[in-house]
């Protein structure tokens, strides 16, 4: 959900009883269970490495675009704010006052990642199919719900109920392109709503030639519009979420890397293609610099792309 004007968001979990009746009271609300800033696992890709979203890990040049020539608006303070530090919130002398740390969730749809179906590929003969059942049965992972928000992050939340950790954020990823697109604006008291991580997500199991992995792919959706609103600045990213306690980075591609990539509003598809590789397939979306409709194919594990117009 989201609240207009305040531009805060939430993700609520409701139980369903044996009769199919939905509880009217949430089992948990993610916004009320966001960890304290220093204990959150927030990652980004800075162009050379997958690193913590901290002052030392982020190229702060893009963040400086949001500064108001006020000493409080240092890149370090902005990053602290984005991580959830609310100590400097003051519309008159500091940063924008938020109704909550979690940003608005509008077009991104929550995706549940739990135990895989071990019988999914029984009787299939493609490469890796015979080992899928044993791999699926070997996993004992905590279920997680992933969703994008316009606080500039992809979020993962513990999807259990009735436990202390239920609903707690497990992981967040800030795409490099979102930083370049002006994520620092979120701290300004003059903030006018923008989309950041607003695209749909897809999650699928894929075979890398030796083992199966669970891969999440997302785009920025309407967040793929540049800071000046005049150009496309989209990105598509892939993360290995096989182990929710150790999410790893695969790749991030922007419209600079793939000129055919426009403002993508469709859900990416992960599938094995004719040559046996597992690929991400998506339509390029509107306003690409090429100005043509295109099908984009990106290797799930290497990030090698191919564009067909």
Tokens read off for 302: 């290497």
Cβ(225)–Cβ(232) below 8 Å: yes
Tokens read off for 257: 């890397």
Residue 287 or 67, more confident: 287
Least confident of 37-51, 82-96, 144-158: 82-96
* Mean per-residue pLDDT, 10-17: 96
**What pLDDT score was predicted for residue 66?**
56
pTM of the model: 0.95
User: Tens of pLDDT along 76-123?
Assistant: 899 999 999 999 999 888 899 999 999 999 999 999 999 999 999 999
**What pLDDT score was predicted for residue 68?**
59
User: Tens of pLDDT along 243-284?
Assistant: 999 999 999 999 889 999 999 888 999 999 998 999 999 999
Provide the H-helix boundaries in 88-191. Answer: 129-138, 176-180
CA dist 191 to 30, 51, 160, 210, 292, Å? Answer: 24, 27, 35, 48, 33
Quickly state the pLDDT bin for 142 (edges 50, 70, 90): very high
Q: What percent of the chain has pLDDT over 70?
A: 96
**What pLDDT score was predicted for residue 67?**
60
User: Tens of pLDDT along 185-197?
Assistant: 899 898 999 999 9
Tokens read off for 97: 């006052």
Tokens read off for 100: 């909550």
């Amino acid at each position: 959900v989201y609240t207009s004007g305040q531009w805060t968001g939430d993700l609520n979990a409701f139980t369903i009883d044996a009769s199919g009746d939905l509880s009217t009271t949430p089992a948990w609300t993610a916004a009320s269970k966001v960890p304290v800033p220093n204990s959150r696992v927030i990652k980004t890709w800075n162009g050379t490495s997958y690193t913590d979203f901290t002052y030392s890990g982020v190229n702060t040049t893009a963040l400086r675009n949001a500064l108001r020539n006020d000493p409080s608006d240092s890149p370090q303070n902005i990053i602290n704010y984005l991580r959830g530090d609310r100590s400097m919130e003051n519309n008159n002398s500091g940063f924008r006052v938020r109704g909550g740390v979690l940003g608005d969730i509008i077009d991104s749809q929550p995706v549940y990642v739990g135990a895989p179906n071990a019988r999914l590929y029984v009787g299939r003969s493609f490469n890796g199919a015979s080992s899928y059942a044993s791999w699926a049965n070997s996993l004992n992972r905590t279920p997680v719900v992933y969703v994008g928000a316009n606080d500039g992050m992809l979020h993962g939340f513990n999807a259990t109920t009735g436990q202390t950790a239920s609903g707690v954020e497990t992981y967040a990823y800030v795409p490099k392109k979102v930083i370049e697109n002006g994520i620092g604006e979120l701290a300004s008291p003059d903030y006018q709503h923008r989309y950041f991580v607003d695209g749909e997500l897809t999650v699928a199991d894929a075979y890398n030639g030796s083992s199966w992995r669970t891969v999440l792919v997302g785009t920025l959706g309407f967040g793929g519009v540049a800071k000046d609103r005049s150009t496309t600045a989209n990105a598509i990213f892939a993360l290995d979420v096989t182990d929710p306690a150790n999410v790893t980075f695969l790749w991030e591609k922007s419209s600079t890397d793939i000129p055919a990539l426009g403002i993508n509003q469709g859900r990416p598809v992960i599938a094995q293609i004719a040559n046996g590789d597992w690929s991400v397939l998506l339509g390029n979306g509107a306003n690409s610099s090429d100005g043509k409709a295109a099908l984009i194919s990106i290797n799930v594990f290497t990030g090698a792309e191919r564009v067909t117009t």
